[in-house]
Amino acid sequence: QKYTIAVVGAMGAVGREMLKTLEQRNFPVKKIKPLDIPSNAGKKITFQEEPIAVEAAVSGAFKDVDIALFSAGADASKVLAPTAVTEGAVVIDNSSAWRMDENVPLVIPEVNPEDLSWHKGLIANPNCSTIQMLVALKPLHDRYNIKRIVVSTYQAVSGTGQKAIVELNQQVQDYVTGQPIKSNVYPYQIAFNALPHIDVFLENGYSKEEMKMVFETKKIMDKNISVSATTVRIPVFRSHSESINIETEKPFKIDEVVTTLNEAPGIIVVDNLTAANYPLAIDAEGKDEVFVGRIRRDFSIDNGLNLWVVADNLRKGAALNAIQIAETLVQKALI
C-alpha cells in the first residue's frame, strides 16, 4: 500500500529534511503534498526529482492525506493538527504544541514504540535534545535503572531554523571583513559565543528548552527519573552535542556499558581515546544514528557515569524520528 503524505512547513529546515529523508528511506509514497504558509504557496520543492508546487496549509488541505508530518511551529500545530485529524489524516507533529497532552503519545521508536498503540490520530515528536539523549540512555535504563540525569547541551543554530543559519553565516563573514556584527535572531551575537538561553526563561529560572528535557524524559521513559538540564546555543550549524551524567540504581562495569550501548538500536559508539576518537558534530551531520563516546565512570558518586552524545538535530532529532514513527505505524498496521 502507498500513502499520501503532507509535509506541513515544507519550506523550513526540518520540512526540507523530512522530504529528503522520505526519499532516502523509500517510504511508500503515493503522493507528496508540500504545505506551508499562504505566502509560500506556488513555490516549488523537488521530490524524487519532480518539482511540486507548495500549497497553503489551511483547513480542507488534508482531505486526501493519509499521514501529515508537521513542522510548522507550535501555534500552527495547535490550530491545524486537530483539523488535519478531523479531515482523516494521522498527524505526526514535530512542534511542542501537543507533546505533554495526555491523549497524545510522545514517541521515540527505539524507546517507547508501544505507546503508538493508543494514538487517537495525533502523535507528538519529542524535542531534538530529548530524542538523542533518550536513544542513548534507554539501554542503560533497562539494564541499570537510571535514578538521575544531569545534562548540558551544546545546540546547533539550525535548531532555531533557516534564519539562524543565515545569521551565523553572515556574522562570521562580517567578522572576517571587519563589518559590524548584527544580531536579530538571538539576544546576543552567536558567532564565537555561547548563549545559555534557548527558548524563553520560566519563573523557576530554567528555560523552556531545559524543562522540555525534564518533562519529556518522564513522559517517554520513566516518571521517576530526576532530570537537571542546562541548554546552550553554540555557533555550530548542525548537530547537537550533549554532556550527560547519570546515576544508576544498579552497579555496572564500563566494558559492560560499552557492549550494552553497542548492541542497542540507533546507537554508534565512537570511543577510542588513544586515537582521539569521539563523537563530533561535523561527523554526525546527515547521519541517522546517535553517536556515544567519552564513556567513563563518574568517580565522585556511586554508580555514576559520564557520556558525550552527538546527533544530527534536523535528522534523528526531528525529521527521521517522525518518519520512523510513520514507518512503525505502517509496520504495526496502526494507520
Among 40, 127, 207, 324, binds ligand 2RA (CB under 6 A): 127
CB of 97 or CB of 198, closer to ligand 2RA: 198
Decide if 119 is catalytic: no
Which residues contact residue 133 at a Cβ distance below 8 angstroms, ignoring those fewer than 6 apart? 149, 151, 213, 217, 242, 244, 309
CB of 208 to ligand 2RA, least distance (A): 9
User: CB of 35 within 8 A of CB of 60?
Assistant: no
88-117 residues near ligand 2RA, rule: CB under 6 A: none
The secondary element (H helix, E strand) that includes residue 167 is helix 162-177
128: helix, strand or coil: helix
Question: Contact region for ligand 2RA (CB under 6 A) — 16-24, 59-67, 122-130, 278-286?
Answer: 122-130
- The kind and range of the H/E element at 131 are helix 128-144
Residues 193-252 that bind ligand 2RA (CB under 6 A): 198, 209
Query: Smallest gap, in angstroms, from Cβ of residue 129 to ligand 2RA?
Result: 5
Nearest distance, CB of residue 160 and ligand 2RA, angstroms: 5
User: Is 126 one of the binding residues for ligand 2RA (CB under 6 A)?
Assistant: no
**Which one, of 288, 285, 290, lies nearest residue 267 by Cα?**
290
On whether 155 is known to bind a ligand per the annotation, the reply is: yes
The one-letter amino acid code at 285 reads: E
- Exposure of 313 in the CB half-sphere (CA atoms within 13 A): 25
- Scanning 38-46, 104-112, 131-139, 154-162 for contacts with ligand 2RA by CB under 6 A, the matching segment is 154-162
Determine contact, residues 89/66, Cβ cutoff 8 Å. yes
Rounded to whole angstroms, the Cα distance separating 225 from 112 reads 16
Taking CB under 6 A as the rule, does residue 129 contact ligand 2RA?
yes
Task: Write out the three cell numbers for 220.
Answer: 517517554
Considering the rule CB under 6 A, would residue 159 count as an interface residue with ligand 2RA? yes
240 is catalytic: yes
Measured from the CB atom, the residue of 33 and 240 that comes closer to ligand 2RA is 240
Measured distance CA(282)–CA(309) in Å, rounded: 13
160 touches ligand 2RA (CB under 6 A) = yes
* Contacts to ligand 2RA by CB under 6 A: 127-129, 155, 159-160, 198, 209
Q: Please list the active-site residues.
A: 128, 240
